[in-house]
Amino acid sequence: MKNQTTGILQMLVVPLMALLAFVPTAVGAQSVNSVLAAVVQKNQAGAQSQKNIDQTVEQTQDLVQEYKVLIKELDGLNVYNQLLAKQVSNQQVEMTGLDNAIDQVTVIERQIMPLMVRMIAALEEFVQADVPFLPAERKKRMDFLNSLLERSDVTVAEKFRRVMEAFQIESDYGRNIEAYRGTLELDGQEWEVDFLRIGRVALIYQTLDGAKTGSWNNKTRAWQDVPGAFNTPVREGLRIARKQKAPDMLMLPLAAPEDSQ
């Protein structure tokens, strides 16, 4: 810009000097100085204007670039908003489905509570009529289920799970053998004995010294003595149940089919 201004000044000065050559010296010198000062001032003003224009152009380019960036961000926000709108719509559909499911659960809860009461009552009746093995443990389980139904801090699903678990435990008793120690009242005297349970087919006791053995008669609901010849087989059966001996064939006192329930 400086070189351009100097060139313009030179172009103006040469003609002016030639023109002023015909003007008287005193007047000519004063006029030349005035003209030169005006030209310089004009050129300076032009240079400042050009500088202002350059700054304006630069600012305009910055604004255009910022505008382009904002447009891209706006496009991204529009896509994101569309995605959110779809998610909100899907969530509303899910909420409607959940509301319907909750209504159905409420109906099921009103129906399942009486069902569980009947199930527990039936299980209690079955236990009372069954072979009397593990009486304390099975009674404790029934008492727990009855108290569980009255609790408000337990969900219906958990209550139903525990009821079904009790049914499963009782069902498993019929498919395994077990040996456990307990007390038994015989002839008015309390004895500590070993019990051998074979499914629900037989429940046999034997005194700790192995001298006395008996079995449960579910028809008469009473214990009955068995011949001493069964003492050794019952002792072997207790060892098998405790996994102290490999399974083997044994002769054990079992109730006749017509006597079992």
Residue 253: is it exposed, middle or buried by C-beta count within 10 angstroms (0-12/13-18/19+)? Answer: middle
Rounded Cα gap, residues 172 and 177, in angstroms:
10
Q: Report the greatest alpha carbon distance in the chain.
A: 166
Structural tokens at position 172: 């498993």
> Residue 189: beta bridge partners?
186
| Dihedral of alpha carbons 237, 243, 249, 255, sign | positive
Map out the domains of the chain as residue ranges: 2-50, 101-173, 178-261
Rounded Cα distance between 126 and 81, Å, is 63
Any idea which residue has 């382009």 for tokens?
Answer: 68
Between 3 and 117, the higher pLDDT residue:
117
Predicted local confidence at residue 24, as pLDDT: 52
User: 255: closest CA among 187, 207, 204, 191?
Assistant: 204
| Per-residue tokens: 110 | 């009103």
Segment 121-136 shows an average pLDDT of 95
CA distances from 129 to 49, 122, 135, 195 (A): 113, 11, 12, 19
Query: Which structure tokens are listed for 68?
Result: 């382009």
At what angle are helices 135-149 and 25-129 packed, to 10 degrees?
A: 130
Residue pointed to by tokens 């909420």: 95
Q: What is the pLDDT of residues 89-120, one digit of tens each?
A: 888 888 777 777 666 767 777 888 999 999 99
Tens-digit pLDDT profile for residues 25-80: 545 566 767 777 777 777 777 777 788 888 888 888 888 888 888 888 888 888 88
Tokens encoding 226: 């068995």
Three-state DSSP state, 154: coil
What is residue 38's three-state secondary structure? helix
Alpha-carbon torsion (99, 104, 106, 107), positive or negative = positive
User: What's the pLDDT score for residue 139?
Assistant: 96
